[in-house]
Amino acid sequence: MIKRKLILIMENKPGALVRVIGLFHQRGYNIENLHVDVVEDFAPYKNIEDKLNTKFEPNQISRLTIQTTVSDILMRQILRQLNRLIDVIAVSNEEATYFKGVLLDENLL
């Protein structure tokens, strides 16, 4: 069990946050720290825009950071299931980034 930090980029829509939190709650894991911001500076996410062939507009996406303590195997499962959520655009931990199902080796976020 290791303390971990997760970063999510997601659509800024009502209901998106609670879907994310539900995946932790369901398994009985506590979230130690949670932070959500509307993204205003899109420059760091240019590569995501390119991959999705889209252009982020103001107030459209949020950046969410979560701190929690879970095992390795479970972390991978949660990462993938977070990535499966329709409103989630990309998920990243310290080692890897999941981007709509594609595991990217580099840490993007």
**37-56: which residues touch another protein (CB under 8 A)?**
52-54
Cα(25)–Cα(59) distance, integer angstroms: 27
19 binds another protein (CB under 8 A): yes
Burial of residue 56 (number of CB atoms within 10 Å: 0-12, 13-18, 19+): middle
Output 5 or 84, the one with its CB closest to another protein: 84
108 binds another protein (CB under 8 A): no
**Cα end-to-end distance, the chain, whole Å:** 23
Residues that bind another protein (CB under 8 A): 10-11, 14-15, 18-19, 22, 26, 52-54, 76-77, 80-81, 83-84, 86-89, 98, 100-101
